[in-house]
Structures are given as structure tokens and as C-alpha cells.
Structure 1
Amino acid sequence: MQAPSLVIVTPALAAANNGNWQTAKRWARFLSGDYRVRLAPCWPDAGQHDDAIMIALHARRSAASVAAWKARHPARPVVLVLTGTDLYRDIASDASAQASLALADRLVVLNELGLDGLPAALRPKGRVLLQSVPMRRARVKTRHHLRALMVGHLRDEKSPQTYFDAVRQLSGRSDIVFDHIGAALDPALGEAAVALQQACPHYRWLGGLPHQATRARIAAAHLLVHPSRIEGGAHVVIEAITSGTPVLASRIAGNLGLLGQDYAGLFDHDDARDLAALLAQCRDDAAMLPRLMAQCAQRAPLFHPDHERQTLLALLAGCSAHLGDPI
């Protein structure tokens, strides 16, 4: 018997090299033994496909696809994966995002606190699914300096300005160096990064890099800095945790839902002074980095690929059993 066809609708395909694309590509691999999986930027798309299930990433950007699917196949399930901008911004005010939530049969959130962001009436449709990354052996790192790394495209949601300001506040510390990976999606922020690099030689903007090169730099850093103001469950934070690289992160729900609410490496969003103090502490206090590493090591098993794959398969099986029509 032929495996059922499943379409993953992701507005961001390979060229975007972002978290949504990484999620879609990974899930396609996980599901390929049980489904005929294809990736598409929208639905319906070119060709004749009798898909049994849709997984849609992004409530607002995939809204037209979700609506078209339910109009044609009202009994076939839609699993809607909520991004950070969905969960913590758009579903409160955007009509198309709200329509997607109402139409979807399952709502997937990517951090442990994500269900709290859903309207109370829709939480029974919600499921938590933590993303995964293969574990890497932690690298031995130099003691001559502390290397901080931010990985995030230069756009407002990622709050690169907080990182920039912390760099300036630590400009007198030659023993703390800063790298930054990410494309300038906001040209003004790109100009700010260039100016900072010229003013502060211990800061390097590396631009956008391929995924494997980025992960290698995460593994080589002493710290990943993640100052975002909106996150659904940042893949880069999981990559750091599973590489033995601790994280300094903004105190927002999407980060707390990955790192744990008692994590010691949190700073108030948009508070560069708080971030700079944590960076200095990680360099000056011999106990701080080991403490963060131990906390991350406790969380790491939550992000194992087998755990994510089994959770995803169980979610789809349950959804199909209750809602899918025969194909």
C-alpha cells in the first residue's frame, strides 16, 4: 500500500536559510519513512498532488494555503506550526493569522511555555513539540579570551542593537571578543554593524554563512548571545545547547520555554547593560560558565532527534485517526 502524501507548506525555502526552512527540511527527513513528503511555498502548487495531510509553518504567511486546503478538503487535517511572530504578535491582531488558528486541527508550539500564548479556547488543539539537533562533543576552548557569538539576521525582531550596545559598553575589554553571523535584512542595521566593526575591532560581522559553517562557529564559541524580542523556539539556541555552548538570552517566553525559567544566563530584553554585565561575569567569575554549561547539559536530552521524530509521528497519527478522511 502506498504511503500517504504529506505536504509541508513553508513560505521560506532553502534560499532563506532560516529556522523555518531548517525545520521543514528536518521534518521531511523524519517523516520520509512513513509518508511521501514534499515541500512547497504555498498550496495548491504546480502539479497534481492528492495530499492527505498538510503541515503549515507560519499562521499569517501560510493563511491562504490553509484556507484553500480546508475549502477543498474540509475533513483532511491541517497541522499549523506557530512561529514566534505568530504566537507573540500576529494572532492578537492579524485577521488572517486568527483565521488559520480557527481552521487548523492541531496547533504546534515550539517551546514549553508556548501553549500559554494561545487563546484559552484553542489550547485543547495545542501541542508542544521541541525541535532537535544532533548532539556534538563539546570543544576545548581557549582561555586567552572569551568569544561571544550572536547568530541572527539583522532585523528588528532579533534585537541586534542590544548586542551592538553591549559591545560598545565592553569596548575596553580586549579579553572579550564578539562575532556576529547574519544577513542584513534591514539595511540600516547592516550599516550599524559596519560602523561598529570599524569603531570596535573586537567585534566582527561575518554576514550570512551556510548552516554547517554557522554550527561550527557556535561550537567554537564560549557563549551564544540571543537577544531577540520575539521567538517561538529558536533553533540556534538548541544548536548551542547540543554543542556544549551555553547561552545568554533575553528573558522572553520563547527563550524561557527552551532554557528553563530558572536558567542563570538570562537578561531583560533590550537591556544592553544587563547583557554586558553577564558577559563580564562569564569572563571574570570562574564559576559562571561551568554553571551555565551544567544547566544546558540538563536540558540537552529534550532536544534529541529521536524525541522530536516520535513526537511528530504520534501527533500526525492521532490527528489523522480523528480527522482525516480515507485517501
Structure 2
Amino acid sequence: MSAPHIWIVSPASARANNGNWQSASRWGRFLRTRYRVSISQQWPDAGPAGAPDLLIALHARRSAPSLDAYARAYPQRPSILLLTGTDLYRDIQTDASAQQALRQASALVLLQPAGMDALPAPLRAKASVIFQSAATLRPARPINKRHMDISMVGHLRSEKDPLTFMRAAALVTAPRARLVHIGGALEPALEQAALATAAAHPRYQWLGALPHAATRQRLKRSALMAITSHMEGGANVIIEAICSGVPVLASDISGNRGMLGDDYAGYFPPGDAAALARLIDRALAEPDFYSLLRTQCDARAPLFAPAAEQAALLELVDNLLHKTKQGTTS
């Protein structure tokens, strides 16, 4: 008897190399230890894999057609909806298809606990939190006498608010600070802003899109990681920074608080480039403050262990399939 078949719908492809794709790829690896797994951008597709025993959909609005088709075709089979960011903090408030996806899914998964407040109260009972994970990369980092890199990792799109990072480059005073941005240009105006900022302020560098492995290598050699987003479901780049021993400076939004904790010392108001610049200067000038950030991040690291994420995911999938089997045999 073959293993049950799990189908993951990811609106992003491997070429996009964004957080949704990283989540889909990692979950696929975890699930293949026990199940057959397919990953595609929609369901159904033209592949020969056949009907799945369970569907996992990433992003309520963008995967809503797939989840709806599956629910209609196989109303007794379970499904999981992973709420990844803009869907949790924007789409489910106003978009009818996203709202329907919430109702149709057998189970909802959030990437951090603060997101529970964004869900309609009647749906919270079928929601659970599964923290994402990253492999630990913690090298003995040599001191770069010329530069202390502050990295931002995220494609140039408005939700990530890269302009705040760019504006901070003009305000940072620490002589060794270098603000390095990794991410592809998804909005032409932001691309022009990045090019103009790099021309006007040599301490700002835009490297464009890099492969995931190369990005992690740049990140682990950074002194700090900045995340300036207006909206995040639970940013994987925070986990990758923490698992590389790199302290985080984060916009004070629900998604980041859910990842870093309410008492974290490295928050700045969203869109406040001056506050971000002050945090950068303080972290590089005050060893005690830098140590505090590092200690607080290190304390969160056990939440983001791959074994913990895999165990939580397998438990959820096992339980849903078991309930379905019971329902069909009773």
C-alpha cells in the first residue's frame, strides 16, 4: 500500500525564490520522510500525480481557486491553509475569495502567535502556529576592519518598505556601517530609488537577487539584519538571521513581534528611517546594546529548529489524515 499523497500549492515558483517558495520547498522535504509529495502553483494541474489525500495551500487569496476546486471535488478530504503574510494582514479583511478559503480549509496554520488576533474569532479553533525553521549557520566570524554590514533581505516591493532602509543610509553616522540590500526589483519605481540611493550614498549597496545559499552566506557575515516591512506573516529571514547569530532590527509590526517577542529591544516604528539609523548607530557603538540584541535573538533560536517545525507539521498532517480515515470507516 503506497504512502498517502500530499499536494502543496505554492503561488510562487522556485524561480521567484521568495518566502512562499522557501516554505513550500522546506515543507515538501519534511513531508517526504513519510508521504508522497507534489508541489505546483495550482491544483489541479496537468501532471500525472493523481488526486491527493490532503492539499496544503499557501496564501489565502492567491491559492483560493485551487483550494476551492479541491474542496468541491473532494469534500471529505482534508486541507491546510498556510497564511503567509499579506493574506493574513490584508486580504482576509476585504477579499471574498480569501475569506472563503479560510472557511473551506480543514485547518489553518499561522507562522507566529500574534497572527491569531487577525483571524475571525470563530475560525481560531482550527488554527495552529508552526514556526518556520532554518539550519544553523554560526561560523567564527572574523572582524572586518573596513565594513560592518547591515543586511536587508527582501525583494523590492512596497510591502517590504525598502525605501526606509535606503533613507536610513543617508542618516547612519557609524563610519564602518554598510547597508547591503539583497533582493530582486519587482517594482520599477523602487528599482530606480535603489539605483539613485547607491549613486548618492556609497554606504548603500543593492546586490539584486541572489540564490538562497549565497544570500545566507552574505547574511551570516553581517553584523545586523534589518527588516523594514509594513506587513509580514512571519518572515523566514528573521529565522535565518537568528540561526546565523545575527541580531535583528525590525519594524514594530504584529508579524515581527510574534517572531521576536514583545520585549525585544530592536524595534523601530514602521517607516521611520531616522529611528532605524539610530538603532544601527547604537548597536555598532555600544557593545552592551549589541550583546543584548544578540542574547535576545539567541533565546528565540530553539523555536526555529528544523526538527521542531517538522514534528509540528507531521503531527498536524497525521491527525488530519487519521480523522479522515476514521470518518470513512466508521
Q: TM over 0.5, yes or no?
A: yes
Instruction: Specify which of 155, 175, 190 is matched with residue 153 of structure 1.
Output: 155
Matched, 1:204 2:205: yes
User: For residue 140 of structure 1, what is the aligned residue in structure 2?
Assistant: 141
1:228 and 1:37 map into 2 onto residues whose CA distance is 32
- 8 Å CA contact retained: 1:138, 1:245: no
- 8 Å CA contact retained: 1:139, 1:220: no
User: For residue 130 of structure 2, what is the aligned residue in structure 1?
Assistant: 129
- Deviation at 1:323? 3.6
User: For residue 321 of structure 1, what is the aligned residue in structure 2?
Assistant: 322
- Deviation at 1:137? 1.8
- Deviation at 1:112? 2.1
1:209 and 1:245 map into 2 onto residues whose CA distance is 19
2:38 and 2:127 map into 1 onto residues whose CA distance is 24
Paired AA for residue 192 in structure 2: E
- 8 Å CA contact retained: 1:154, 1:185: yes
Paired AA for residue 128 in structure 1: V
Count of matched residue positions in the alignment of Structure 1 and Structure 2: 326
Runs of 4+, deviation exceeding 6 Å:
none
Q: TM-score, normalised by structure 1?
A: 0.97
Paired AA for residue 148 in structure 1: I
- Deviation at 1:146? 2.5
2:149 and 2:247 map into 1 onto residues whose CA distance is 12
Counterparts of 1:221-232 in structure 2 under 5 Å? 221-232=222-233
Matched, 1:35 2:59: no
1:141 and 1:179 map into 2 onto residues whose CA distance is 18
Paired AA for residue 19 in structure 2: G
- Deviation at 1:50? 2.3
2:47 and 2:18 map into 1 onto residues whose CA distance is 26
Matched, 1:15 2:21: no
- 8 Å CA contact retained: 1:148, 1:179: yes
User: For residue 295 of structure 1, what is the aligned residue in structure 2?
Assistant: 296
2:311 and 2:232 map into 1 onto residues whose CA distance is 24
- Deviation at 1:34? 1.2
1:220 and 1:46 map into 2 onto residues whose CA distance is 43
1:67 and 1:308 map into 2 onto residues whose CA distance is 27
Paired AA for residue 229 in structure 2: S
Paired AA for residue 9 in structure 1: V
- DSSP 3-state at the match of 2:56: strand
Counterparts of 1:189-268 in structure 2 under 5 Å? 189-268=190-269
- DSSP 3-state at the match of 2:15: helix
Paired AA for residue 232 in structure 1: G
User: For residue 26 of structure 1, what is the aligned residue in structure 2?
Assistant: 26
What's the % identity of the aligned pairs?
49
- Deviation at 1:143? 5.8
- Deviation at 1:11? 1.1
